[in-house]
Amino acid sequence: METEYVQHIIDIIGKDEDKKFIIIGGIHGNEKSGIDAIINVLPDLKKHSLVQKGKIYFLKGNLPALEHNDRFIEKDLNRLWLDENIFSESNSTPDFIQLKELYHLIANEICENKFDNCYFLDLHTFSAKSGVFCIPAANDKSVAFAKSFGVPFIEKLSDTLPGTALSYFGNKGMTALVFEGGTHNTPEATLTLEAGIWHSLAYAEFISPELGKVKKGRELLKEISDNYPHHLELVYRHKLEDYYNFRMNKGYFNFKPIKKSEFLAVQNNSKITSPYSGYILMPLYQRKGSDGFFIVREKE
């Protein structure tokens, strides 16, 4: 490993080495809003020396995919986070190189392989039209962090998706969260992701909760989530082996209620119907993806 990993660093703020906060955008190269949100919050954070404690690392994910404005080059970087890939000598295709650089940067350079005092916020957007939400890693600290957003959050999803950065670092003990801030490359998604960054840094006590940006951000998160169910759990994942042959029916969006046996999509010329009733999540309306849709239910 040479020093290519430094190219993933957008900025570093703060001096205190005790607590660390990693905020990353663009793990999927077609999702630029996370990086835009990071670039927008940086001047304010720096100008007023708002960071009271801890050190914040702002990172970008899949660099060649970002350059091509594509989700990934050959393999979805956010399905590769497994030790067998990270430590394999043989894989040297572009997405695997990104995986190894990011692993080295986050685990070795930033966290020094001590993960308990590290927060991880992974910024994403989706191809559907609405419905902001977050996904906590499968540990109590991450679930509490997710709950604090006041937007819908989905339990049991991180374990069902092997190979995400979220589950990888969550299993190492980090407080880890994916924040899905809106539709790809829209100004609304950027604003929502900025709100998520301000909220998160205040939640972890890196900045004061009294800052205007934090208060405004929290108001925005509340406003966009008022009409949605808040605490959900995954009941079904429609995994795709071959995304080229999957076409979602029109008109679905995050948290749209669906009924059992509802006709949802066409795959390899056959009808896909819903195996459960519940709410639909992340219906696939883009060319590439490893999941057609998810079904979630309100948690009692």
Q: Give me the least distance between CB of 126 and Zn ion, in Å please.
A: 7
Interacting positions 157-216 with Zn ion (CB under 5 A): none
Interacting positions 118-157 with Zn ion (CB under 5 A): 124
User: By C-beta, is 184 or 199 nearer to Zn ion?
Assistant: 184
Q: Give me the least distance between CB of 133 and Zn ion, in Å please.
A: 12
Q: Compute how many residues bind Zn ion; rule: CB under 5 A.
A: 3
SS3 state at 138: coil
Beta strands in 14-96 (DSSP E): 20-25, 55-60
Alpha-carbon dihedral sign for residues 230, 233, 238, 241 = positive
Phi, psi torsion values for 282, nearest 5 degrees: 50, 55
User: By C-beta, is 31 or 101 nearer to Zn ion?
Assistant: 31
Q: What percent of the residues of the chain are helix, what percent strand, and what percent coil, each to the nearest 5?
A: 35, 25, 40
Place of tokens 């066409």: 266
User: By C-beta, is 276 or 285 nearer to Zn ion?
Assistant: 285
User: By C-beta, is 124 or 238 nearer to Zn ion?
Assistant: 124
Q: Name the nearest CA neighbour of 78 among 62, 97, 54.
A: 62
Is 60 among the residues that bind Zn ion (CB under 5 A)?
A: no
| Residues 13-52 as x/- pattern, contact with Zn ion by CB under 5 A | ---------------x--x---------------------
User: By C-beta, is 78 or 274 nearer to Zn ion?
Assistant: 78
Q: Give me the least distance between CB of 178 and Zn ion, in Å please.
A: 8
> What does the alpha-carbon distance between residue 22 and residue 50 come to, in Å, rounded to a whole number?
17
Place of tokens 């430094």: 6
Contacting positions for Zn ion (CB under 5 A): 28, 31, 124
